[in-house]
Amino acid sequence: MTKALRHRHRRSAAVALACWGAAGALVLTACSGGGGGGGGGGKSEGPGEDKTKASNYSLGTKEDSAGPAPEVKGAKKGGTVNVLQRDAFNHLDPGQIYFADVLAAQMLYNRSLTSYKVDDQGRVKVVGDLATDTGTASDGGRTWKFTLKDGLKFEDGSPITARDVRWGIERLYAPFETDGPLYIPQWLSGEGSTFRKALPDGPYEGKHLPSSVLDTPDDKTIIFHFLQPHADTPFATAMPNVGAVKAEKDTKQKYDNAPFASGPYKVGEYKVGKSLKLVRNEHWDPKTDPIRHQYADGFEISFGHQYADSTRRFLADQGGDKNALSFSSAVAPEMTEKVLKQADTRSRRFVEVQPYVDYMSINVDRVKDVRVRKAIAHAMPNGQILQQNGGATAGLLATNYLSPAMDGYRPTDPLGKKAKPSGDPEKARALLKEAGKEGMEIVYAYANTDVQQKVSVVVTQALERAGFKVQKKEVDANIWRTAVAEVKNKFDVYRNSWGADWPVSSTVIPLLFDSRQIADGSQNYSHLNNRAVDAEVDRINKIPDVKQAGPEWQKLADRILTEDVPAVPVFYNRQFSLWGSNIGGVRYQPVYGTVDPTGVFVK
């Protein structure tokens, strides 16, 4: 069912060494992002220390949800922001958006029921966006009620009503809406794609969901009746597809190229695959919006800038590039050193932990002996793998399954990876000997890309040093996902990456390790099948307060890593951003792992 944000960074070239404790002193310069962006966490010390940013996630109050957003220091009105993106946006229709780059972009023109408010310290609050607050639960968390603010308007000045929100949700049932997250429709109408049967054509044929499912008693009220209790509903309603779509302006598939704006900007000109121009939306009222500003006159987003290209332009900082930034393009890893050495970049860059984690899954069906799995885990050269991915500015060495960006994250290190970043071949060898499996053949599968080819070199080498025999199996990059997601696959160890849709671990552990998730195409890539784990998942899921659930998830994650070892956490992704010197108000959006464009202005 649910799928996490999969960031589109093809990590083709990313990054350098993690800031591991050992190398920490050396690397500090690399890791300190410089106090740009005003966001907290200018320094990321690595898993050795508690970053505690995650614990800053909270639900905002009604007051937090009221506009206008607090002024950004030094902000000025006017000017156009140039945005250099590598990949073209694949969708503009909020219903279809799931990738990080567009998630960042949609913040400018699209509003959802709730949203994330990031303060100067980098603390994240979920607040009401279209709604006055983060919703009111009843019926044990099965029913959630939201009330819309006053003065909300579309780009044509027409008011946003509950009917528009309803339309926005009901259209997710239409068969063409395939790419976006589907939490709300699935919670309302059923798992998988069964929910579509509730409204096969969406709202387009005049049919609607019954009020027992989705109720809009008046122009201001929306009531969800879920099949199960969902404590993290305020997070789910912060997905961009839980917003308002005006029925008359809904052009179905074509909406993808011309969404009707509710945010401070609207689509000015869109050349698919090439450029997108966002211009001021005069009908947006700052008093209704606790998050967004409208400083710049507009954003000119252009696609097709390789990381090296955009980095070079930010570094040169000439002409129009002074007014440029990128939502999601990272500094090209080969230029990391250059960027860090150029003093004037200090105030216009950041390195932040993203909610994405790289794992090495171990196929439990094939590698049945837990001692062998442990041996693999100990042998895994996390540091070297990270280095192939770009090193310190691309990620942090991972010591457990949860990202530091998750609520309740603790820097536990059950396998002692921090001390042995290149793996511990002796220990692995010993474990393998204990299992009597010396010289065992391991099929290591990898997607055939530049970086993964290099990763395969270090993984193979480390495993062989630990006494394994390795069969390397390259898989075409474009079928990689399906190939490893096949339950009956013939591989033993393979990389995958997971990012939570919101900073609650209920979007991580159950998906990765619950045996009930095992199916072709699902995310339990390891096929871990442990009843005790399943039971624990259920128990924690029932905790009504997400804040209390956080530490419980961490405990469970560590237990799995210690007892079952179905996967080896390798590194936590980081975003290394750089922008032009004439741009202000850039901060990090920790949930999306991108630049937050809402407070950006031209100096």
Site for other proteins in 484-523 (CB under 8 A): 489-491, 521
In whole angstroms, the minimum distance from the beta carbon of 163 to other proteins comes to 26
- Binding range to other proteins, per CB under 8 A, among 36-44, 105-113, 158-166, 179-187: 179-187
Phi, psi dihedral angles at 448 (to 5 degrees): -80, 75
Angle (CA) 529-533-538 rounded to 5° is: 120
- Residue 13 binds to other proteins (criterion: CB under 8 A): yes
> Residue 560: how many CB atoms within 10 A of its CB?
24
Residue 126: HSE in the Cβ half-sphere, 13 Å Cα cutoff: 23
Which residues lie across from 382 on neighbouring strands? none
Question: Which of residues 45, 49, 119, 179 is near other proteins by CB under 8 A?
Answer: 179
Nearer to other proteins, 291 or 508 (CB): 508
Residue 48: HSE in the Cβ half-sphere, 13 Å Cα cutoff: 16
In whole angstroms, the minimum distance from the beta carbon of 98 to other proteins comes to 6
| Dihedral sign computed on CA atoms, order 272, 275, 276, 277 | negative
In whole angstroms, the minimum distance from the beta carbon of 155 to other proteins comes to 24
Q: Which residues 516-575 are close enough to bind other proteins by CB under 8 A?
A: 521
Q: Before 333, cis peptide (omega within 30)?
A: no
- Residue 94 binds to other proteins (criterion: CB under 8 A): no
- The count of chain residues that interact with other proteins, using the rule CB under 8 A, is 72
- Residue 419 binds to other proteins (criterion: CB under 8 A): no
Q: State how far the Cα of 303 lies from the Cα of 383, in Å rounded to an integer.
A: 32
- Residue 158 binds to other proteins (criterion: CB under 8 A): no
Nearest to 237 by CA among 146, 152, 142: 146
Question: Which of residues 477, 487, 518, 543 is near other proteins by CB under 8 A?
Answer: 477
- Residue 380 binds to other proteins (criterion: CB under 8 A): no
Question: Which of residues 100, 223, 362, 392 is near other proteins by CB under 8 A?
Answer: 392
- Residue 482 binds to other proteins (criterion: CB under 8 A): yes
Strands of 286-419, DSSP E: 298-302, 324-325, 349-362, 395-397
- Residue 136 binds to other proteins (criterion: CB under 8 A): no
Q: Which residues 299-318 are close enough to bind other proteins by CB under 8 A?
A: 304, 306, 308-309, 312-313, 316
- Residue 251 binds to other proteins (criterion: CB under 8 A): no
Q: How far is CA 487 from the centre of its chain?
A: 25
Residues 6+ apart with CB under 8 A from 84: 302, 305, 309, 310, 313, 324, 325, 326, 329
Angle (CA) 597-572-99 rounded to 5° is: 40
Question: Which of residues 61, 121, 253, 347 is near other proteins by CB under 8 A?
Answer: 253
In whole angstroms, the minimum distance from the beta carbon of 541 to other proteins comes to 21
339 close to 15: Cβ distance less than 8 angstroms = no
Nearer to other proteins, 70 or 175 (CB): 175
Question: Which of residues 63, 254, 343, 344 is near other proteins by CB under 8 A?
Answer: 254
Q: Which residues 215-244 are close enough to bind other proteins by CB under 8 A?
A: none
Alpha helix (H) residue ranges in 237-344? 307-316, 336-341
Q: Which residues 159-178 are close enough to bind other proteins by CB under 8 A?
A: 175, 178
Q: Which residues 43-72 are close enough to bind other proteins by CB under 8 A?
A: none
Q: State how far the Cα of 15 lies from the Cα of 333, in Å rounded to an integer.
A: 5
Q: State how far the Cα of 528 lies from the Cα of 452, in Å rounded to an integer.
A: 25
Nearer to other proteins, 31 or 137 (CB): 31
- Residue 90 binds to other proteins (criterion: CB under 8 A): yes
Q: Which residues 437-466 are close enough to bind other proteins by CB under 8 A?
A: 443, 448, 450, 453-454, 456-458, 460-461
- Residue 469 binds to other proteins (criterion: CB under 8 A): no
Q: Which residue has the tokens 């609650």?
A: 504
Nearer to other proteins, 357 or 455 (CB): 455
In whole angstroms, the minimum distance from the beta carbon of 471 to other proteins comes to 5
- Residue 33 binds to other proteins (criterion: CB under 8 A): no
389 close to 517: Cβ distance less than 8 angstroms = no
Print burial letters for 263-287: b (CB count within 10 Å at least 16), e (below 16): bbbbbeebeeeebbbbbebebbbee
Question: Which of residues 9, 11, 27, 507 is near other proteins by CB under 8 A?
Answer: 27
257 close to 125: Cβ distance less than 8 angstroms = no
- Residue 26 binds to other proteins (criterion: CB under 8 A): yes
Letters for 260-299 (x = contact with other proteins by CB under 8 A, - = none) are: ------------xxx-------------------------
- Binding range to other proteins, per CB under 8 A, among 367-375, 468-476, 573-581, 586-594: 468-476
Specify the amino acid at residue 320: G
In whole angstroms, the minimum distance from the beta carbon of 152 to other proteins comes to 29
Question: Which of residues 70, 74, 151, 192 is near other proteins by CB under 8 A?
Answer: 192
Question: Which of residues 391, 404, 510, 593 is near other proteins by CB under 8 A?
Answer: 391
Strands 114-118 and 124-128: antiparallel
490 close to 394: Cβ distance less than 8 angstroms = no
Q: State how far the Cα of 385 lies from the Cα of 467, in Å rounded to an integer.
A: 19
Expressed in percent and rounded to 5, the helix, strand and coil fractions of the chain are: 35, 20, 45
Nearest to 593 by CA among 502, 504, 512: 502
Tell me the two tokens of residue 204: 């387009």
In whole angstroms, the minimum distance from the beta carbon of 389 to other proteins comes to 9
In whole angstroms, the minimum distance from the beta carbon of 125 to other proteins comes to 27
- Residue 345 binds to other proteins (criterion: CB under 8 A): no
